Amino acid sequence: MATRVLRRPDDAKRLILEAASTLLAAGGPAAVQVRAVAAEVSVSDAAVNHHFGTRERLLESLLRFGGVELKAELHTVLNVRTNLRWAWFISGRAGERRVRLPGHGDDASHHAGVRTTASGPGA
């Protein structure tokens, strides 16, 4: 008989959702079966059902779980872009029409979507 591993409920749910996410990526929604998810995490079918109730509720939770991960990745990307925008401003050259960042041969502020008071038609 296998040794039982006690986990906090939130940790168990996260592990189950990660396993379900892996199965979804590999084989689509049809691959996300309670028995297959349980086998990935080395728990019983009953443990998966205990945390999620039904396969449908597992899939609903998986959708929310994926949305949370996607949202976190988007925030990371947006923060990087925002940091690039502030890099030219903090450098003390915000009033210049063309701002060059290291490694950029063209107008970096233009490519980052940044406008200064000196830019635009008639400037």
List pLDDT tens digits, range 60-116: 999 898 888 888 887 787 777 666 666 655 555 555 545 455 555 544 444 445 454
| Cβ atoms of 38 and 27 closer than 8 Å | no
Q: Give exposure, 91-115, as e/b (b: 16+ Cβ within 10 Å).
A: eeeeeeeebeeeeeeebbbeebebe
CA distance linking residue 17 with residue 66, whole number of Å: 9
d(CA 14, CA 62): 10
| pLDDT category of residue 52 using cuts at 50, 70 and 90 | very high
Question: CB–CB of 32/55 below 8 Å?
Answer: yes
Tokens coding 91? 């450098």
- The listed CATH number (3.40.640.10, 1.10.10.60, 2.40.30.10, 1.10.490.20) that belongs to domain 9-72: 1.10.10.60
Q: What pLDDT shows up at residue 109?
A: 46
User: Which pTM was predicted?
Assistant: 0.58
Inform me whether the pLDDT recorded for 55 exceeds 90.
yes
Pick from 10-24, 27-41, 49-63, 65-79: least confident: 65-79
* C-alpha–C-alpha distance, residues 121 and 106, integer Å: 19
